[in-house]
Structures are given as C-alpha cells and as structure tokens.
Amino acid sequence: MNKDMSIVSQTAGKLTAQVVQSDTAIAAVRNGVFAEIHETILCTLIDAATDTSPSAPVVQLAPEAQQHDAAVQNVLNTFDGATVTNDVGATDYRPGPPVQITENSSIIEMLEDALFHNPDNWKVWDSPKSSMNGGTSPDITHETLKQGGGKYKVGLFMVSKFAGQSAPEWAWAKLGKQPQYAAMLAEGKITA
C-alpha cells in the first residue's frame, strides 16, 4: 500500500504543478493555493482508488505570508541547490533548432548556440569583469566569430549596458546563475 500511496502522491504533485505552472507559481505556494489544489487532487485520487470512505476535508491554510515563506525556506534549506524563481519554465527551456551564427544573429540565437547547440565554440567568463557579476565585459564570447571589422570576438552580455535589460532567465539558469539573476532583479538592476 505504501508504494501505491507514493505513486498516487507523486501523480497528485505532478498534476498540481501543471495547474499552477505560470509566472505566479511561487505566489501560489506562498498563499496556499498550491497546497489546497494538491490536497484536493490527492483526496480525489485516493477516493477514486479506494472508494470506501468520504474524502478528507481540504485543509485551509492560513493566509499569512510568513508561514508560507517559512515553508519555502524549509524547502530551500532541505534540498541542496534549490532556488526560488518567478519563472517555472526557466530550467525547462527548449531551444530552437541550430542555426548558422553570424555577428548579426539575434541574442536568443547566440545564447541557444552558446548554451545548447555548440558550447565548445564559446567561452564563459565568470569574473568580476563579467556583466553578470556587476562588471562591464561580456559574459560569453565566441572563440572564432569576430565583429567590428574583425577586431573583437562576438560577445554576449547577460546584463546589457543599455537600460538594465537582461538575458532571459533560462540563460542564467543554464549557467547556474539564478541567485545572481534573482538578486539583480530584486534590487532593480535588471528587468525581466
């Protein structure tokens, strides 16, 4: 029975995640909506499987954000590498098909090439000079592709010099830099 309950619980969790999958998913965790939906789905699945007794009541969670923040913090403390993000799909990003990269390719095409399709053609610079660490230098450069009349390697900035625009969150996630992204976003240094 424990194995069956584990499968039912996992199924309920997956269905719940699909229901709240959006930019506001973390808010759903904090305000208790995620737990309420999960409890409802879990009870419905258990009722359907057992059909012997009425389902347990849905637990109404207290709306105080502090309790939910503590729960989120508990998860972060329990699982190494866990992070809070406002975009559930950031780590599930699926790149487009590979394209021939030129100095005039879009930032998305170049990031996809650098982080998914041809990472050996690119070098990631994780130094104090890198834009993602507060510097003014590119974070990723192409090993052979040049710009500026052949003077400079094509470079990608995770944080643009212009108006604090940022590379997409999925790129930060792929580089393992979600904490920097979240901190810069919270401080207003970048826009999503």
Over the stretch 23-40, which tens digit does the pLDDT of each residue have? Answer: 556 666 666 666 666 666
Burial class (CB within 10 angstroms; exposed 0-12, middle 13-18, buried 19+) of 70: exposed
DSSP H or E stretch at residue 99: none
Q: How confident is the model at residue 111 (pLDDT cuts 50, 70, 90)?
A: very high
- The two tokens of residue 146 are 């040049």
Q: How confident is the model at residue 172 (pLDDT cuts 50, 70, 90)?
A: very high
What is the DSSP code (8-state) at residue 123?
Answer: E
Whether pTM > 0.95 for this model: the answer is no
Phi/psi for 93 (5° steps) reads -60, 135
Over the stretch 117-151, which tens digit does the pLDDT of each residue have? Answer: 999 999 999 899 998 888 889 999 999 999 888 88
Secondary-structure percent of the chain, ordered helix, strand, coil, rounded to 5:
50, 10, 40
Is the confidence at residue 90, as pLDDT, over 60?
Answer: no
Mean pLDDT within 105-114: 93
Is the confidence at residue 188, as pLDDT, over 50?
Answer: yes
Mean pLDDT within 150-175: 86
% residues pLDDT > 90 (the chain): 28
pLDDT given for residue 59 in this prediction: 39
